[in-house]
Amino acid sequence: MSITKENWGKADNKDVFLYTLKNRNGIVVKISNYGGIITSILVPDKNGKTGDIVLGYDSLIGYLTGTPYFGAIVGRFANRIAKGAFTLDGKKYKLAINNGNNSLHGGIKGFDKVVWDASEFSDSISARLKLTYLSHDGEEGYPGNLNVTVTYILTDANMLTTLIEATTDKPTPVNLCNHTYFNLREADTSILGHLLKIKADRYTVVNDELIPTGELRSVQGTPMDFRTPQTIGSRIDQVKGGYDHNYVLNKDVTSSDLTVAVIEDPVSGRIVEISSTQPGVQFYSGNFLDGTIKGKGGKIYKQHYGMCLETQHFPDSPNQPAFPNTILKPGEKFDQMTVYLFKVNGLFV
């Protein structure tokens, strides 16, 4: 196991570094302390050819000049908050509006656009990158000083673990996740031929602004049903605008199996199995990619050339009392884990 560090430029007058984590099986993960961004994941295909399975840019400038959250840690609240407002302990808070009438992924300058403090470590068991950030009281409209720690861990078991922890000195909404775009065929074509399985019987119904109505609807008999493996493109034309929905994950408290979703590309043989402690996962099929972004190696990212499975709490939870609680209080700890297991030539779980 190893981790190396190189200078990648500057942002906000701070040094930005690119860290390279490697295991003994040829898997390479590159992460920047700008935005906590996973810039590359290199894994072999069924023929042993290594390729990059995530979308992004070759240099820091791409991330600085506008990006749809490629690979980043998003927060203080991932996903949308309706009208950029919520009431907490009788006080109304107004957030930065950056998505139509709503607040998305923490606001105008969310956690994806800040330089995190970083420390690295490796031994015979793992390579680890620890990132920390203090989000000050009032930042983007949120109350409380929020101390956040993100730890990325790569092992020889071909697992990349993301641990996200946070504490606060005032009650505040917290919903943190990673926003990596996957394409297991190295973005040479769309993800519509990928097979997807999501362990969820229900999803959160949304309005035209992608804000939950509060209804948790069964996936049974609908194009939202991925309880058995389906190609993403087989029913996407039946979903207005494409997939951009939060799934209510089936959780068996008696089971130690935290697997929530599996992606497989039959052509390359690559598989990503995702486990998480979170109650939901947002499946986004890259609907807003429009061919205007030139990514790594000059590749053009067209519609559906990337997909996200964002393990998280439900959208607009501060305004939806029936949803799982997202208010973090002093003395409590936000603590979530997501694991990406990379396989090849395997069978669906």
pLDDT at 347: 47
Tens of pLDDT, residue by residue over 75-112, are: 999 999 999 999 999 999 999 999 999 999 999 999 99
270-276 and 200-206 strand pairing: unpaired
- Using DSSP's 3-state secondary structure scheme, residue 345 falls into coil
Q: Is residue 346 predicted with pLDDT exceeding 90?
A: no
308-312 and 244-249 strand pairing: unpaired
At CB < 8 A and 24+ separation, what contacts does 295-299 make? Answer: 295/55, 295/56, 295/57, 295/58, 295/62, 295/187, 296/40, 296/52, 296/55, 296/56, 296/57, 296/58, 296/187, 297/58, 299/187, 299/188
Q: Which helix (H) or strand (E) holds 81?
A: strand 80-81
Q: Which helix (H) or strand (E) holds 203?
A: strand 200-206
Nearest to 51 by CA among 254, 299, 236: 299
Q: What six digits make up the tokens of 235?
A: 């029913």
In the chain, where the domains are located: 2-344
For tokens 């069964």, the residue is: 218
The C-alpha atoms of residue 271 and residue 38 are separated, in whole angstroms, by 18
Q: What are phi and psi of 296, to 5 degrees?
A: -60, 135
Q: Is residue 349 predicted with pLDDT exceeding 80?
A: no
The C-alpha atoms of residue 56 and residue 70 are separated, in whole angstroms, by 6
Q: Are 172 and 76 within 8 A, CB to CB? A: yes
Q: Which residues are catalytic?
A: 179, 310
Report which residue type is found at 144.
G
Q: Is residue 253 predicted with pLDDT exceeding 70?
A: no
**Mean of pLDDT over the chain:** 96
Q: What six digits make up the tokens of 105?
A: 């992924």
The C-alpha atoms of residue 164 and residue 185 are separated, in whole angstroms, by 28
Tens of pLDDT, residue by residue over 298-338, are: 999 999 999 999 999 999 999 999 999 999 999 999 999 99
pLDDT at 128: 98
Nearest to 286 by CA among 200, 190, 178, 175: 190
Q: What six digits make up the tokens of 76?
A: 């203080």
Q: Which helix (H) or strand (E) holds 62?
A: helix 60-64
> Is 3.40.605.10 the CATH number for 2-344?
no
